[in-house]
Structure 1
Amino acid sequence: MAPSVTSETQVNDIVDKYSKLVLKGEGSPQLGQSIQDGFGDDYSSELPETTKRRFEKYGIDISKGYPKRPEKLTLFLDEAEKIRNGPDPDYVERGVNADPEKKALFAKAKEVRHLTKYVGTELVGVQLSELNEKELDELALLVSERVVVFFRNQDLAPQKQLEIGQFFGNNVEKHPLAGQVPLPGVEGPTGLTTIWGKFNRRNRDVTFKQRGGAIWHTDLDHEFRGPSITHLHLDAIPKFGGDTAWTSGYAAYDKLSPEFQKFLDGKVAVHRSQNKYYDKNNILGGPKHIEREHPLVVTHPVTGWKALFVNRGHTLRIKDLEPEESRVVLNYLYEVLEKNLDIQVRFTWANETQDRSLGASAIWDNRISAHYAIDDYDDEEDPRHGTRVTSLGAPPVFVPGSKSQRESLGLKP
């Protein structure tokens, strides 16, 4: 039976009655429960000391509360789908014309430390705040080749983090629901998303047995033009735990047999949003995810290498396959990404070289990776807080005839 159409009067009544929402679980709007938007969800008194010092140093006013939510939360599916639902004519792909040897960027580093053979590089002694556009362009190329690049002991203003993100993507993700860092003179979402376990869990009773609920995922892959480069800066680093792991879509594709690669090339997968929204035509049907189609294998616009573009967190199904066929294929691909340790890197934010009074940054390419936040730290005694800027790119594409990473580098299959 087709769902009955909700009248405009009913929709307006719902908006009026439930204009205040609570975001729980995956951050979906839950009708009938109440919080305030804007600065109503105030966790400012519980911020870690290193975060407070960073905010104070760089003029971030948290006197009204923290974090900041959008003043008008996006409730409905059609409204959420319209956000950035089209190409950006001003988008410039950084790294395409950068020096392949990255001489300017590497000259700033005391050491270029590759953490594994093909995934993950740490640039020792580089301050992100001091990089010029030429060096940032070379960094974009390095990220596209190495998947993720790390920087320790960073004195980084939130405003500078946002500026770097805007260079990489022209536009950055301004989430319609997520908590964000308020910036002087900026109304509405700022593009600096709060990454903070204590706030995300919001007083839920979490025990050791209930933790570890994270999942391998790619950020915001439901977007029409999804994330290109993401920059997470931790300004409160646990003494122990809180590591993050990344896995390479390039290397996962190269794990597959040539015949299986041919089968996957050109296929389309359906991705869903993390958050849910209400369908005006079927309010009583409950909140729904945004769904978006993307190539299952993508060709990176800078390297030209093919990569698997699926993840357990958000990929729903492969288009044009029977449900069971799709399930079998996707589960196999998830295991390739998740279980092959030789195509992964795990970053320990705090080690003997990290000054915990300063921050650390990870910059990665969402188009060629999935990541996993390891939730094994103590929010009360050893907090972890960060700010994230996600640069938006062009819609992901598959280019017939493009090569895999190992094929392009002339390595043995």
Structure 2
Amino acid sequence: MPASVTVTETQQAPVVQIVNDLPLDTQIENLIRGTDKINITRAKNTKVSFETGADKTGLELLPESTRKRLEADGIDVSKGYPEVPDRSKIPIFVDQAHAIRDSDVPFVDRGKNADPEKKALFGAATEVINLTKNVGTEIVGLQLEDLTDQQKDELALLIAERVVVFFRDQKLSPTAQHKLGDYLGNIEVHAQVPQVPGLPGTSVIWVDYQTKKGMELNFANSNLSNWDSTRYLNVGNQGWHTDLVHERQPAGYTHLHLDAIPSVGSDTIWASGYGAYDKLSDELKKFLDGKETVYVSAHQYLDRDDPFGGPKRIERVHPLVRTHPATGWKFLYVNRGMTKRIVGLSPVESDIILNYLFDVYEKNADLQVRFKWTNTKQGYGTSAIWDNRVSQHRNVWDHEGAEPRHGTRVTSLAEKPFFDPESKSQRESLGLYLHKWD
């Protein structure tokens, strides 16, 4: 309970007697956790506050296709949907959030020792379609639930090479999705994000639910963060970003399965970090290789030592150019929303260089793929599995909520970022032409 005081009036001045002398940070934490109206469950810009536990109001807008998928998996939604993490366990202070995953966890990339020809995966598919020359592949004729371990390893390598791989017409349960994520890495269990009941780490991607709860997303503001993410905070998922860059071991393979899909619109775009690196001149590559960058969390917290100083983000230092453990290729590891500064440069120098690198990712269409989620079979869902290390992505909210869109996401955390000075870029490794500037 917060500290209480007793005030005794005297002829000179009131005397204040401390009855319960708790530290200030403890009082603040007790106040926040005990006050439902204070938002500790989402980033500041969403202005959404969820109540702990299964949410009955979510059932009012739950798409029928989603309900059928959940019930077929034996998931009980009778008490409500989605399930919001326990308020008592959501971090209040930066140090609490930082400590959630602050030690090294073993990780070996499943694609590292996979068959480079991917004979088991490709041989079982009816069709393999490269959606663009450099990014994005669709696999036809396979069910993700039925893949063998060998096929999963080859899929991991394919994702690492092609950035993102798609599977339409999937009968995929949330439990099976979670199991695949566990195979690919260490599943991230998010402290704030609503999840599928009974499946921690299976996050609910449902903008319709957030807007119902008060998130102010509209046609006018949905893309503002792509101009200036410091002035116009990201609302929803429309700003270019890479997930969980602030983690000690950031996101590796991420799997989003949509079970409710608008008939038109709501596409997602991915961009390649391999290609972004290869767009740079040799001289700029030499300058950036070995540099470190400060990355920040999307969510904000209080500083225990300065609780009235405004919200703060978790900060972590990683290489600006990373090497992928499975492909061995270099890639550019930045994104506009969560890359703060380059270590060792002045703020002006850092801003100028980073803004150029953001533009390289965002403005080169030959490094990108735009995917339309629709299925060919009614009652089925579509999956996208991408490598968060080597990519950025963003949603296109052009359907404006006119039709339901719902999905579940499982993210597998990967290795502690590293840079191998002996590694090569993608085009260099594949023997493709690299321009030499005069």
Is the shorter-chain TM-score for this pair beyond 0.5, marking a shared fold?
Answer: yes
Aligned to 1:14: 28
SS at match of 1:276: strand
Q: Distance in 1 between matches of 2:45 and 2:400?
A: 25
SS at match of 2:95: helix
Aligned to 1:65: 80
Q: Distance in 1 between matches of 2:203 and 2:52?
A: 15
Q: Distance in 1 between matches of 2:176 and 2:323?
A: 30
Alignment counterpart, residue 211 of structure 1, candidates 222, 230, 234: 222
The answer (yes or no) to whether the contact 1:212–1:376 under 8 Å persists in 2 is no
Matches within 5 A, 1:120-135: 120-135=136-151
Matched, 1:137 2:153: yes
What percentage of residue pairs aligned between the two structures are identical? 51
Q: Could you say if the C-alpha distance between residues 41 and 78 of structure 1 is closer, same or farther in structure 2, counting changes exceeding 3 Å?
A: farther
Matched, 1:384 2:384: no
Aligned to 1:150: 166
Aligned to 1:88: 105
Aligned to 1:176: 191
Q: Given residue 203 of structure 2, which amino acid in structure 1 is its aligned partner?
A: T
Matched, 1:194 2:204: yes
SS at match of 2:204: strand
SS at match of 1:361: strand
Q: Distance in 1 between matches of 2:344 and 2:129?
A: 44
Say what the alpha-carbon RMSD is for the aligned residues: 1.9
| Structure with max Cα Rg | 2
Aligned to 1:36: 51
Aligned to 1:370: 392
SS at match of 2:259: strand
Aligned to 1:348: 372
Q: Given residue 198 of structure 1, which amino acid in structure 2 is its aligned partner?
A: D
Shift of 1:398: 0.5
Matches within 5 A, 1:206-285: 206-213=217-224, 214-285=238-309
Alignment counterpart, residue 382 of structure 2, candidates 329, 348, 360: 360
SS at match of 1:61: coil
* Bigger mean CA deviation after superposition, 56-65 or 218-227: 56-65
The answer (yes or no) to whether the contact 1:215–1:372 under 8 Å persists in 2 is yes
Q: Could you say if the C-alpha distance between residues 40 and 13 of structure 1 is closer, same or farther in structure 2, counting changes exceeding 3 Å?
A: farther
The answer (yes or no) to whether the contact 2:42–2:299 under 8 Å persists in 1 is no
Alignment counterpart, residue 49 of structure 1, candidates 58, 64, 88: 64
Q: Distance in 2 between matches of 1:28 and 1:61?
A: 31
Q: Distance in 1 between matches of 2:113 and 2:370?
A: 30
Gaps of 5+ in 2: 1-20, 225-237
Q: Distance in 1 between matches of 2:278 and 2:190?
A: 34
Q: Could you say if the C-alpha distance between residues 54 and 324 of structure 1 is closer, same or farther in structure 2, counting changes exceeding 3 Å?
A: same
SS at match of 1:141: helix
Q: Distance in 2 between matches of 1:220 and 1:204?
A: 21
> What are the Cα deviations for residues 115-173 of structure 1, in whole angstroms up to 9, with x where unaligned?
0111100001111011011110000000011000000000001000000000000x211
Q: Given residue 168 of structure 2, which amino acid in structure 1 is its aligned partner?
A: R
Q: Distance in 1 between matches of 2:167 and 2:250?
A: 24
The answer (yes or no) to whether the contact 1:253–1:261 under 8 Å persists in 2 is yes
Q: Could you say if the C-alpha distance between residues 14 and 383 of structure 1 is closer, same or farther in structure 2, counting changes exceeding 3 Å?
A: same
The answer (yes or no) to whether the contact 2:293–2:340 under 8 Å persists in 1 is yes
The answer (yes or no) to whether the contact 1:299–1:397 under 8 Å persists in 2 is yes
Q: Distance in 1 between matches of 2:155 and 2:313?
A: 34
SS at match of 1:403: coil
TM-score (norm 2): 0.87
Shift of 1:24: 7.5
Q: Distance in 1 between matches of 2:74 and 2:317?
A: 41
* Bigger mean CA deviation after superposition, 369-378 or 37-46: 37-46
Aligned to 1:163: 179
Aligned to 1:409: 430
Q: Distance in 2 between matches of 1:29 and 1:284?
A: 21
Q: Distance in 2 between matches of 1:339 and 1:306?
A: 20
Shift of 1:42: 3.8
Shift of 1:41: 7.2
Aligned to 2:124: 108
The answer (yes or no) to whether the contact 1:229–1:363 under 8 Å persists in 2 is yes
Q: Distance in 1 between matches of 2:334 and 2:56?
A: 34
The answer (yes or no) to whether the contact 1:306–1:402 under 8 Å persists in 2 is yes
Q: Given residue 394 of structure 1, which amino acid in structure 2 is its aligned partner?
A: E
Q: Distance in 2 between matches of 1:128 and 1:347?
A: 19
The answer (yes or no) to whether the contact 1:42–1:67 under 8 Å persists in 2 is no
Q: Given residue 411 of structure 1, which amino acid in structure 2 is its aligned partner?
A: L
Q: Distance in 1 between matches of 2:275 and 2:351?
A: 22
Q: Could you say if the C-alpha distance between residues 29 and 53 of structure 1 is closer, same or farther in structure 2, counting changes exceeding 3 Å?
A: closer
How many residue pairs match? The answer is 395
The answer (yes or no) to whether the contact 2:42–2:192 under 8 Å persists in 1 is no
Shift of 1:8: 4.9
Q: Given residue 108 of structure 1, which amino acid in structure 2 is its aligned partner?
A: A
The answer (yes or no) to whether the contact 1:28–1:287 under 8 Å persists in 2 is no
Q: Distance in 2 between matches of 1:138 and 1:35?
A: 40
> What are the Cα deviations for residues 186-224 of structure 1, in whole angstroms up to 9, with x where unaligned?
6xxx00011011123323454432333521100011100
Q: Which runs of 4+ in 1 moved over 4 A?
A: 27-30
Q: Given residue 209 of structure 1, which amino acid in structure 2 is its aligned partner?
A: A
> What are the Cα deviations for residues 90-117 of structure 1, in whole angstroms up to 9, with x where unaligned?
x221111111110101122110000011
Shift of 1:13: 2.0
Shift of 1:287: 1.8
